[in-house]
């Protein structure tokens, strides 16, 4: 004789990256373990309800014995009440008798010519659809790590990020949907589009590595020493990162370059009749420093003008780096 109430909490994993899904699963598991106890006593129902609502969790319930029909009426909003009702209203009058027996599955003779993998979708080992899904999920996390920082630094997210996200999702769907398992591929063997010899599509892993570049921090330092004797010059120095695809880091810099990604260190400045120094980022991967240096008039004025200084430009550059595939 037995009575049991089975509750399955589930949420849509397609809404989350691998990292977000793991965090949500851990939060839900901790909340459930805190709320329920073996004695039937429960914690705060409002706390659990808030978590279930925020994660959009659904509940599948089934029961053996206990109050008739109770499992069918369980929802996220009343799960605590129904759980307590099951515990309190279960007695010897509504116990259920169960008898389980098992035997070996006999393969129909018409399938004798087929292998196990030809009859059943093989999810075991490190080459089945679940293993491939794990690899694609890890690649989706790498995609997020490469694409999210562009917006963080105030830059336009490359179009390739949206294309890559869509293609990774398609590859995962092939491993997620049972009827598509035959097309679920290891990332090293996956091509977009039709799976035919005449139209193999694009090798997605190679495309991702080439087009979804990883932002890396770089610093360029350059020293300038301008000297004028009895005359004038217009100084217009540009200190640039290695490529026009780079950009200065708005979270770095100091002095006139604070929040712009550059730092100016002046060793000597003497400008008797010239103009004021100006600093700006133009274009986005260069720090531009300008001044009009002019000497005084002899015999009483200063006959030299100088500006000796160093510019440090701190920025981010997109670098090609291969995606890593989980072994």
Residues pairing with 264 in the sheet: 311
Higher pLDDT, 135 or 193: 135
User: Is 307 part of any domain?
Assistant: yes
For 212-236, what is the mean pLDDT?
96
- pLDDT-based confidence at 180, cuts 50/70/90? confident
Residue 138: per-residue pLDDT? 96
Most confident of 63-67, 179-183, 239-243: 239-243
- Give the integer Cα–Cα distance in Å for 126 and 124: 7
Rounded Cα gap, residues 20 and 172, in angstroms: 16
Q: What is the pLDDT of residues 56-94, one digit of tens each?
A: 888 888 888 888 888 888 888 888 888 888 888 888 787
pLDDT tens digits along 269-305: 999 999 999 999 999 999 999 999 999 987 777 899 9
Token code pair at residue 155: 């830059």
pLDDT of residue 25: 83
Task: With respect to residue 79, please indicate whether it lies within any of the assigned structural domains.
Answer: yes
Cα(323)–Cα(214) distance, rounded to whole angstroms? Answer: 10
Average pLDDT value for residue range 96-110 = 71
Residue 205: partners with Cβ closer than 8 Å, 6 or more residues away: 139, 187, 188, 190, 323, 325
Are 151 and 243 in the same domain?
no
Task: Of 72-86, 157-171, 177-191, give the lowest mean pLDDT range.
Answer: 72-86
pLDDT at 8: 87
Instruction: Considering only residues 57 and 261, tell me which one the structure prediction assigns the higher pLDDT.
Output: 261
- Name the CA radius of gyration of the chain, rounded: 33
- Domain encompassing residue 78: 4-94
pTM of the model: 0.59
- State whether 221 and 205 are in the same domain: no
Q: Of the residues 211, 230, 246, which one is the last residue of a structural domain?
A: 211
Q: DSSP secondary structure string, 31-44?
A: HHHHHB-TTS-B--
190 belongs to a structural domain: yes
Distance (Å, whole) CA 238 – CA 80: 67
In this structure, are 207 and 274 located in the same domain?
A: no
- 267 within domain boundaries: yes
User: Are 293 and 223 within one domain?
Assistant: yes
Q: Is a pLDDT exceeding 50 seen at residue 40?
A: no
Cα distances from 164 to residues 130, 160, 192, 246, 269, in angstroms, run 21, 6, 11, 21, 51
Q: What is the mean pLDDT of the chain?
A: 87
């Amino acid at each position: 004789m037995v009575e049991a109430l089975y509750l399955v909490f589930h949420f849509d994993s397609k809404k989350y990256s691998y990292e977000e899904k793991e965090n949500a699963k851990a939060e839900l598991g901790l909340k459930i373990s805190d709320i329920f106890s073996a004695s039937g006593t429960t914690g705060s129902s409002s706390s659990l309800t808030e978590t279930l609502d925020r994660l959009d969790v659904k509940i599948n319930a089934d029961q053996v014995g206990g109050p008739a029909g109770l499992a069918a009426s369980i929802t996220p909003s009343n799960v605590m009440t129904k759980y307590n009702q099951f515990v309190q209203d279960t007695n010897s009058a509504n116990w259920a008798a169960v008898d389980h027996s098992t035997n070996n599955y006999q393969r129909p003779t018409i399938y004798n010519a087929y292998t196990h993998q030809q009859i059943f979708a093989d999810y075991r080992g490190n080459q089945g659809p679940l293993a491939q899904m794990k690899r694609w999920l890890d690649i989706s996390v790498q995609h997020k790590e490469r694409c999210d920082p562009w917006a963080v630094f105030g830059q336009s997210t490359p179009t390739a990020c949206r294309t890559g996200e869509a293609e990774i999702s398609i590859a995962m769907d092939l491993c997620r949907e049972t009827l598509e398992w035959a097309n679920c591929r290891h990332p090293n063997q996956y091509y977009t589009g039709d799976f035919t010899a005449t139209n193999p599509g694009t090798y997605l892993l190679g495309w991702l590595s080439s087009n979804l570049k990883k932002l890396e921090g770089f610093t360029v330092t350059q020293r300038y020493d301008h000297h004028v004797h009895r005359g004038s010059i217009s100084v217009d120095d540009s200190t640039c990162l290695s490529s026009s695809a780079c950009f200065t880091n708005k979270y770095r810099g100091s002095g006139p370059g604070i929040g712009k990604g550059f730092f100016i260190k002046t060793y000597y400045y003497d400008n008797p009749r010239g103009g004021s120094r100006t600093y700006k980022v133009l274009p986005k991967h260069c720090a531009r420093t300008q001044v009009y240096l002019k000497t005084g008039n002899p015999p009483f004025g200063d006959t030299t003008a100088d500006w000796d200084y160093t510019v440090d430009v701190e920025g981010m550059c997109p670098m090609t780096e291969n995606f890593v595939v989980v072994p």
